[in-house]
Amino acid sequence: MKLIKAPFISLIFLTLLGCTSQNVIDLQEIVKDINFACPLNEGPAGDLLSVEYDQLSNIVTMDLVADGHLTDVDKLREHRDLQLDCLRLSFNDLSAARLLNAMVNAKASLNVIYTNQNNNQTANFKISNKELRQELENQATIFQRDSTETSARIALENAMCPREIGPGIYIQGVEILDNNILYNYRIDSDFRGKSLETEKDSIEHAIYYNISELLNHPRRGRELRQVAQLGYGLVYLYDIDKIGEKVDIVVPSDTLMQMVKESDLNQ
């Protein structure tokens, strides 16, 4: 019986080894293709400088760099949820989705090295294969993928607030509230010496013009189309510091969807 069992067990082992090797080969090829295309802009997640795969440790390493005004490395280092949000935003195109699938199949884990390009501070965090598999399962449908990615982007943007985005203008926070994405701004009280209410029409015009322009931008246009498909509107709340004067500009979801359709027709 021993002579019969030994070859049978060896055959099973070799078969399993062969399957695993093919998954590893697929992962190697995808990593090679993506690394060749680097650097790649990943939006709020930063720029992907390189991606490498160490077969011995079965770890994929991604090297990301971001503008320090948009990304707080210390917050990334301390908060696991923000690390996962960065991961979600790094897998927002077809090639990255293939990489995620290949890592799951090869049972590989992920190591992310995140660098603030302004001061070279780094955050190093690891994503287990189990967490990668959960992310893959969460991207089962286009709607789920867009919803997950949009939530991750908003959470990451909000974590980096407050920050100055122009002379005397600060973004205080970003959040999903009901069926809208709400942007809170604070403006220094000496803002042109004018009332916000008298400036509302010009501010509204500028917002709509800016949305039209962003729809032509590869990354920002894609993000706005996601927002429209998810049925969200946009709300911009401006508050003059010390005076307490407020004004809000609303871009309803149906209006945003119409702007997307018009932009698509003109392309």
Full-model pTM: 0.60
Does residue 128 lie in a domain region? yes
Average pLDDT over residues 34-40: 86
d(CA 251, CA 20): 51
Average pLDDT over residues 93-98: 69
User: Tokens 């990451």 sit at which residue?
Assistant: 156
How many residues are listed for the chain in this entry?
A: 267
Share of the chain above pLDDT 90, in %: 24
* pLDDT surpasses 60 at 11: no
Radius of gyration of the chain (CA): 23
Does residue 2 lie in a domain region? no
One domain, residues 134 and 211: no
One domain, residues 248 and 212: yes
Does residue 60 lie in a domain region? yes
Average pLDDT over residues 76-98: 74
d(CA 257, CA 260): 5
> Where is average pLDDT lowest: 107-116, 219-228, 233-242?
233-242
Which of 102, 123, 139 corresponds to the end of one domain?
139
Average pLDDT over residues 161-181: 88
* Residue 18 parent element (H or E): helix 2-37
What tokens were used for 2?
A: 């021993």
* pLDDT surpasses 70 at 211: yes
Does residue 9 lie in a domain region? no
* pLDDT surpasses 70 at 70: no
The DSSP 8-state label assigned to residue 44 in this structure reads G
Strands 40-41 and 233-240: unpaired
One domain, residues 186 and 123: no
What integer pLDDT is reported at residue 17 of this predicted model?
46
What integer pLDDT is reported at residue 54 of this predicted model?
94
Which of 139, 155, 173 corresponds to the end of one domain?
139
One domain, residues 34 and 123: yes
What integer pLDDT is reported at residue 167 of this predicted model?
80
* pLDDT surpasses 50 at 126: yes
* pLDDT surpasses 70 at 50: yes
Identify the band that residue 71 occupies on the pLDDT scale cut at 50, 70 and 90: low
Average pLDDT over residues 205-213: 92
Does residue 20 lie in a domain region? no
Average pLDDT over residues 107-131: 87
CA proximity to 89, closest of 252, 223, 264, 265: 223
Does residue 145 lie in a domain region? no
Share of the chain above pLDDT 70, in %: 80
Compute the 3-state secondary structure of the chain and give helix, strand, coil in percent, each to the nearest 5: 55, 25, 20
One domain, residues 56 and 130: yes
> Is omega for the bond preceding 162 within 30 degrees of 0, making it cis?
yes
Strand order of the β-sheet with 122-127 is 40-41, 47-54, 59-66, 109-116, 122-127
Does residue 251 lie in a domain region? yes
Does residue 212 lie in a domain region? yes
* pLDDT surpasses 70 at 5: no
Contact 73, 123 (CB under 8 A): yes
What integer pLDDT is reported at residue 14 of this predicted model?
43
Structural domain including 231 reads 163-266
Write out the DSSP string of 210-225.
HHHHHTTSHHHHHHHH
Average pLDDT over residues 49-62: 93
Which CATH number is 186's domain given? 3.30.300.250
What integer pLDDT is reported at residue 37 of this predicted model?
86
Which of 139, 172, 188 corresponds to the end of one domain?
139
What integer pLDDT is reported at residue 32 of this predicted model?
92
One domain, residues 177 and 117: no
Total of domains in the chain = 2
What integer pLDDT is reported at residue 267 of this predicted model?
66
200 or 220, higher pLDDT: 220
